[in-house]
Structure 1
Amino acid sequence: MLRFTKENFVALCDKLSANDMRLNSIVSEYGYPPLWTRPNTFETLVLTILEQQVSLASAYAAYKKLKERLGKITPQGLLSLSDKDLRSCYFSRQKIVYTRGLAETIVAKKINLKAFETKEDAVIRKELTALKGIGNWTVDIYLLHALQHADVFPVGDLALVNAVKMITGQSFTKEEIMAMAETWKPYRSIATMILWHYYIKKKNIKLLH
């Protein structure tokens, strides 16, 4: 299982950039992307679910509110809250269902996040997408940020798709973008972070955390 780490991240950025003119131009102009990682926890998965199809600002507002309420966000803590409590933390009806379902699955020991650290992507994807409200984008972001798998390409991510559009000056289908990303194997996670970095810099987006 290939992983990126604090130790090899810059070397992997250099390796990809050396073989790709566009990635090279991003790193030359904007420097290396931040090492965007998150701990492999229930809290991280809750944040990722909150980030589905909304702005990062609104997702983070809900996450912050929940954190203020619970301190540490655990499955047991989330399950102790009523729908009304979660709505007061800016959770939509759907996000209440999704996060509660995940919490129940972990409490029932049907899913073990720690065990995912030694499992293949396909196995993790199968287990997580079996849960309501967790699709491929959520799994991709989890594999990339929390497990630091080196070859993840979240083609369902709008910022990534827009970055590809901006750097090439063209629109592509998801299939075409996936085909383009073949050249970045087995380090598609690194290419993703370079492209995110480009998008954030070009759009002058202020990250909240």
Structure 2
Amino acid sequence: MANPPHESSRPTGHEVDLLGVWFRRVVQSDPSAFESLFRATRESLVRYAFQITGDEAAAADMVQEAFLRFWQRRREHDPSGSVKALLFRTVRNLALNSVRDGKRRAQLLAEGYEPPARATPDPDETLAGQELAGRIRGWMEELPDRQREALTLSRFQGLSHEEIAEVMGVAPRTVNNHLVRALRTLRDRIEAHREGSSVQGAG
């Protein structure tokens, strides 16, 4: 399976404010704002689509299609809303439709889900830290789909509970429940791993 696109960092408050400014200008048919919005969000959207489809080329095409629809319907959007939630929801629907159509189902079943991961390891990480990071990625793969998706959108894409709820089509309380359960599972796995390592070290 191809490596996922490089994971972008979570957006800062200033970047989030810029997204809102660009969104309002796009609604007013400003092509330069549309280009700025595209450049600022494309990488994270492609990565998100890749996590669903497992196909980087298809993921890039879906993001292009999402932005095309976004521009074509720009006057219909509420500029006071979250443009991130709008774009992630559009990409999610396109990606899920692709999977439902069976275009990638066989390969997904064979290869499995690719969790968020760093493109290159942190040189300051110790060997033990690298091992734990790898285990956490594996444990994320084992989470129920909805918990994993909520955790990815929250921790890796920086969306708020309200934005995630809009993307996933559920209530914010449901998002919170997914996150609480996912984090509890990971915390329990980490604690069990550390206890096991301590026992081995003592032996």
Q: Is TM-score (shorter-chain normalized) higher than 0.5?
A: no
What TM-score results when the alignment is normalised by the length of structure 2?
A: 0.29
Which of these two proteins has the greater Rg computed from alpha carbons?
2
Higher helix share: 2
Between 1 and 2, higher relative CO (CA 8 Å, sep ≥ 6) is seen in 1
